[in-house]
Amino acid sequence: MALTPFTVDGQPVNIDSDPQMPLLYALRDDLKLNNPKFGCGLAQCGACTVHVAGVAARACVIPAAQVQGRAITTLEGLGDRLRPHVVQQAFIAAQAAQCGYCLNGMIMTTAALLAHKPQPQPQEVRDALSGNLCRCGTHIEILAAVQAAVDALAAQHAKTGAFE
């Protein structure tokens, strides 16, 4: 067992665990965060996606010790009910969910993409989301939600001169 300090959604935490334990287990079991989901355990479905220092990463294959001293953002930390992130708001408005299991990965991947490239081409969006599996058939709504987030960011940029 080892003590691993890091930050989750802006809050400092210390996890006392096997250093090789997946970050996903620390988030779900130790910190009781519900949105990163266990899907495949092999970094192939995207359900466990979080941001590690602003980059989308699969928490099911990252050892907890590897995030020592780093900033982790989960869906809970991206936005909240009173002030949702632009991507969360777009997914809500587009009703881009059926079962909701893939949403964590879809939203976290989209948010990371737009943080680095606020005006992606449609193929870049499809490429970024291609590693997130959804079996419910809401792909059209998901793509519409991403486009709505892109449009909202563009409108924000036109108004303020900066992408947030």
> So what's the pLDDT on residue 163?
66
β-bridge mates for residue 60, sequence order: none
> So what's the pLDDT on residue 150?
97
pTM above 0.75, yes or no: yes
How confident is the model over 59-101, as pLDDT tens digits?
Answer: 999 999 999 999 999 999 999 999 999 999 999 999 998 888 9
Instruction: Say if CB 68 and CB 4 are below 8 A apart.
Output: yes
Residue 1 confidence class, pLDDT cut points 50, 70, 90: confident
Dmax of the chain from CA atoms? Answer: 51
Long-range contacts of 53-58 (CB under 8 A, 24+ apart): 54/112, 54/115, 55/112, 56/108, 56/109, 56/111, 56/112, 56/113
Average confidence (pLDDT) over 16-20: 93
Instruction: Say if CB 112 and CB 104 are below 8 A apart.
Output: no
Q: What's the one-letter identity of residue 10?
A: G
β-bridge mates for residue 3, sequence order: 16
Q: What's the one-letter identity of residue 100?
A: G
Higher local confidence (pLDDT), 39 or 162: 39
Residue 164 confidence class, pLDDT cut points 50, 70, 90: low
